[in-house]
Structure 1
Amino acid sequence: APDAILQLGDRFVSQKLYDWIASKRPKVHCQVSNHPLRRDPIHSITHRIVSELPSFITSLTRALPGRPHSEWLKAWKELNHLVETGTAAYFKMHPALTEPALFHHLKEAVPPSFGIYFGNSLSIRNADAFFAPKNPVGPLFGNRGLSGIDGNIATIAGLASGIGKGIVGVIGDLTFLHDLNSLPLIRDLPVKLVVINNNGGDIFSFLPIMSHSEVFKPFFLTPHNSDLKHAGKLFGIPYDQVETYEMLDDCLSQDRGGIIEVKTRHGESLDIHRDLLSNLKVIQSHVTELTTG
């Protein structure tokens, strides 16, 4: 277990990481952020530093002594390498353009001059799990919004206009439908809007409510059965539906914006998350040894 945690920024995406921190309760959990507002959902933070992160990192590196040999750091680096190679091998053995595979592929497919926006719900969670670029990428953005899936297209339009460069926005189908009236905002901007269409709120498949079929489909999954290509036609925005990595790469490399739809199967993400974890049992044993030592 760690003696201390240094947290850069506000909230984490991963609930499992919060659960792990809560179970360990280190004596020191120091959070560094650029504002004085409290962001501590599990009440574990013991110290707070208000600073811009680049300034803090610069000051910290100047104050620290040399880098000592650390078996702990070495173990985490080895573990990270095992996870990366194991995940890459899994998607190589399963070459279909699934939802998790898309995020794993995007780390190399997005033009380096473009910013990237991840929508909420399942999109940002799959990004957290599978988007791990080895080379520098453009700025990364997200926007929690009021309830998660509102106003994402408008946010992407504002980002593209504000930073003066292209944006690849990756959102789900319900997020897309919730903000259709913002589509005219991206019509003349360098925005490539990747819409993952699993016909509903597939994130709820990860929750126990899925076993209650009488309420799950009408109140949580909420399938819409809509043909998204008509939205592009309505607002005069180029539309493509892709089924392979090659088709996706071709759309991302074109010198224009547009809507790129990727149709996936309901429940697919859950199945792949489970299957991938079962293929990484050796890594899980390393995790147990590392985090309980």
Structure 2
Amino acid sequence: MISTKKHIQQLVSLLNEKGVNDIVISPGSRNGPITHTLVGCGLFNCRNIVDERSAAYFALGLSQALQKPVALVCSSGTATLNYAPAIAEAFYLQVPLVVLTADRPDYWIDQAESQCIRQENIYQNFTRKSISLPLGESDNELWYAAREINEYLNVAIQGTPAPVHINVPLEEPLHDLEDEPLPSVKPIELPLMNLRLADQAIEKLANSFNQAKKILILAGQQTPNPGLENQLSELAKKTGAVVLKEHLANLNDPAFCSSIDLLMTGLLNENTADFQPDLLISFGGQFVSKSLKQFLRNNKPQEHWHLSLNTDHFDTYQSLTQVLPLDASDFLEQLTPTVSEKSNSYQLRWQEKEKQVNQIRDQFINQTDYTDLRVFDQIRQFIPPNSYVHLGNSSPVRYALICQAPTDAFFFGNRGTSGIDGSLSTAVGFASTTNQLNTVILGDLSFFYDSNALWNKYISNNLRIIVINNRGGNIFGLIKGPDHSPAFKEHFLTEHSFEAKGIAQAFGLNYLRAENEIEVTQALTELYAPNQQQAVLLEIFTDSEKNSQTFRALFQAVKQ
């Protein structure tokens, strides 16, 4: 049974034609015609999550895991506003969400009608395209709607993926059904293109590359791509180029440098001109490291090439000279055969410095007392190979990036906008469709903020949640400034005495607890035991003041 509304039948049929078959629905009446049709036709994998904010983050994680668009469906009014944080995150992470919001007819807008707000272009700053479909069902209106829907679904995945918004005004009756198949529709195809630079352009770039003596490549956040890693390794070996990456770049070649913040601190006592690049090449998402940005802004390269299918003019380091409309793999495929072999002296300089700071780090961790730093080093030793790790924002992602990466793990995190509000929901969505173990590491505030992530029936047995409970937002004790303010404890640290046990029990999760190093080891052993066949939450308690002192002492040790 599907809705009798022809424009809804057409919308759903086009979703099916375009392969958008994974749907996250939040319940409501105004979106009833869409829900009836998606569920009733039997062609879609429909999930239901009540909390729209959590549902949108869930869809983001699901899309990342599936590597394809996922559609969201909600009712009208403030339900639509609750999608906004995740849509912004998806926009900056370049994740293709298809956002379907039900709406009142436009003649009821601003007329004191219930559950009715100004929804047209509501996400205009965070979507590639946004449209309100026509209300009527004349032949011309259906033709126009079909054309626009085709374009929007194509745009979501063409070039740089991004969210698109389709607002759907609906008149009553909303729940009239008929036992009919979906109508046939005409999809408009947009083939994916493999872009190439002209030979003359590649020759010019190769000449500039060959003239540069110090080449630095920044690999930003990206999904795992073994082929790209092999290409980068080949270029680095041939030319002595340095590849800097964080765990979120999902590159594991040991020749690449990953201890970014420690490296930047270690360079304070070096001649920075020895490390300043002549040529900087960047691709992928954002870096977490603030000190890397400061280093490159203070030690600008002569040239900076940024690779972006969407021609984004990201001048993060204030030295941009070229925007190349290619993905990294296509670019390296063209460039590497055309460049000359070079000395690896610049590469060795970076590698030796990293080796030095890593030795200081490892010795410091081995000698330090029980704090967050020690806990994160314990965690990374237990994370299984070929599993997924989801890093919460603020202090968890920073501690994880300081420590050595677990062997052959894949890293994800909401670093598009870097908020603490949806990390758990995103991880739950991702884990719901994978077979491997998924570990999500969160701070206490992030967990409590997003605890509704557990309020659905899609919590998979492969989910391992680790909450670092240091009784507040410990990030504000790590950065300079807030801890000297009289407002620190209440308005920055947000000191509290809450624990996660009751939440775990309410949502049927196994619960583990640890308050010292021995208990952490025991709990991690149980968390990752082969016979652990249920989702588990491990809460680890640490002291925020000791955490801050240890964190600062580590960087002081590296600086000396």
1:2 counterpart = 2:277: yes
Counterpart secondary structure, 1:267? helix
Pair 1:15 & 2:290 matched: yes
Contact 1:8 1:53 in 2 (8 A): yes
Q: Which residue of 2 aligns with 1:169?
A: 440
Amino acid at match of 1:161: S
Question: What's the counterpart of residue 84 of structure 1?
Answer: 358
Cα 1:56–1:145, aligned 2, differ >3 Å: closer, same or farther? closer
Instruction: Please identify, of 221-230 and 141-150, the stretch whose mean Cα deviation from structure 2 is larger.
Output: 141-150
Q: Any idea what the Cα deviations from partners look like across 1:70-120, whole Å, max 9, x if unmatched?
A: 322111111111122221111112263x21223333333211131010011
Q: What letter corresponds to residue 246 of structure 1 in structure 2?
A: T
* TM-score after normalising by structure 1: 0.85
Structure richer in helix, relative to its length: 1
Q: Which residue pairs with 1:122 in the alignment?
A: 395
Is residue 279 of structure 1 aligned with residue 557 of structure 2?
A: yes
Contact 1:200 1:221 in 2 (8 A): yes
The answer on whether the counterparts of 1:5 and 1:26 sit within 8 Å (CA) in structure 2 is yes
1:64 Cα deviation after fit: 3.1
What secondary structure is seen at the aligned counterpart in 1 of 2:476? helix
Q: In the superposition, relative to structure 1, how do residues 102 and 31 fare at CA in structure 2: closer, same or farther (>3 Å)?
A: farther
Contact 2:512/2:537 (<8 A) preserved: yes
1:208 has 2:208 as partner: no
CA distance in structure 2 between the aligned counterparts of 1:57 and 1:164, rounded to whole angstroms: 32
The CA distance in 1 between the partners of 2:364 and 2:418, in whole Å, is 34
Aligned partner of 1:222 in structure 2 is 494
Q: Distance in 1 between matches of 2:496 and 2:558?
A: 35
Instruction: In structure 1, list runs of 5 or more residues that go unmatched.
Output: 283-293
Structure 1's 99 and 38: CA in aligned 2 closer, same or farther, altered over 3 A? Answer: farther
Task: Name the counterpart of 1:267.
Answer: 545
Within a 5 Å distance, the mapping from 1:219-258 to structure 2 comes to 219-242=491-514, 243-244=516-517, 245-254=520-529, 255-256=532-533, 257-258=535-536
By how many angstroms is 1:238 displaced?
Answer: 0.5
1:34 shift after superposition: 4.5
CA contact 1:99–1:264 (8 Å) conserved in 2 = yes
Distance 1:176 1:54, change over 3 A: same
Deviates more, 1:179-188 or 1:76-85: 179-188
Mapping of 1:29-40 within 5 angstroms? 29-40=304-315
Find 2:372's aligned residue among 89, 99, 107. Answer: 99
Provide the C-alpha distance between the structure 2 equivalents of 1:236 and 1:194, rounded to a whole number of angstroms: 16
Asked if 1:25 is matched to 2:274, the reply is no
Amino acid corresponding to residue 99 of structure 1 in structure 2: D
Equivalent residue in structure 2 for 1:197, among 469, 483, 488: 469
User: 2:411 maps to which residue?
Assistant: 140
Matched, 1:69 2:322: no
Match of 1:286 in 2: none
Q: If you compute each CA radius of gyration, which structure gives the higher value, 1 or 2? A: 2
The equivalent residue for 1:285 is: none
Amino acid across the alignment from 1:122: S
Query: 1:23 and 1:145, CA in 2 relative to 1: closer, same or farther beyond 3 A?
Result: closer
TM-score (norm 2): 0.46
Please name the residue that 1:183 is paired with.
454
1:230-263 C-alpha deviation (Å, 9 max, x unpaired): 1111111011012335224313422332111111
Summarize the Cα distance change of 1:59–1:154 in structure 2 as closer, same or farther, 3 Å threshold: same
Q: For residue 197 of structure 1, report the CA deviation from its aligned partner.
A: 0.7
Q: Equivalents in 1 of 2:439, 2:382: separation in Å? A: 10
* Residues 169 and 194 in structure 1, CA contact (< 8 A), matched pair in contact too: yes
Contact 1:187-1:235 within 8 A present in 2 as well = no
The answer (yes or no) to whether the contact 1:121–1:149 under 8 Å persists in 2 is yes
The offset of 1:147, in angstroms, is: 6.4
CA distance in 2, matches of 1:207, 1:281: 16
Give the CA deviation at 1:61: 3.3
Q: Which residue pairs with 2:421 in the alignment?
A: 150
Matched with 2:97 is none
The DSSP-based 3-state class of the residue aligned with 1:174 is helix
Three-state SS of the structure 1 residue aligned to 2:544 is coil
**Cα distance between partner residues in 2 of 1:182 and 1:142:** 15
Query: Residues 248, 77 of structure 1: CA spacing in aligned structure 2 closer, same or farther, 3 A cutoff?
Result: farther
Q: Which amino acid aligns with 1:228?
A: A
> In the alignment, is the contact (CA less than 8 A) between 2:431 and 2:460 conserved in 1?
no
Alignment correspondent of 1:110: 383
Corresponding residue of 2:114: none
SS in 1 for 2:472: coil
Does the Cα contact within 8 Å between 1:11 and 1:39 map onto a contact in 2? Answer: no
AA in 1 matched with 2:545: G
The CA deviation at 1:187 is 3.4
Residue type matched to 2:350 in 1? W
C-alpha distance in 1 between matches for 2:480 and 2:323: 33
How far apart are residue 32 of structure 1 and its match? Answer: 2.2
Work out the CA distance in 2 between the residues paired with 1:248 and 1:69. 48
User: How far apart are 1:69 and its partner, in Å?
Assistant: 2.5
Following the alignment from structure 1 to structure 2, what is the Cα–Cα distance between the partners of residues 191 and 216? 34
Which residue identity lines up with residue 310 of structure 2 in the other structure? H
Instruction: Tell me if the contact between 1:116 and 1:140 (Cα under 8 Å) persists in the aligned partners.
Output: yes
Change in 2 beyond 3 A, CA 1:196/1:34: farther
CA–CA distance in structure 2, aligned partners of residues 123 and 24 of structure 1 = 29
* Aligned partners of 1:217 and 1:223 also within 8 Å: yes
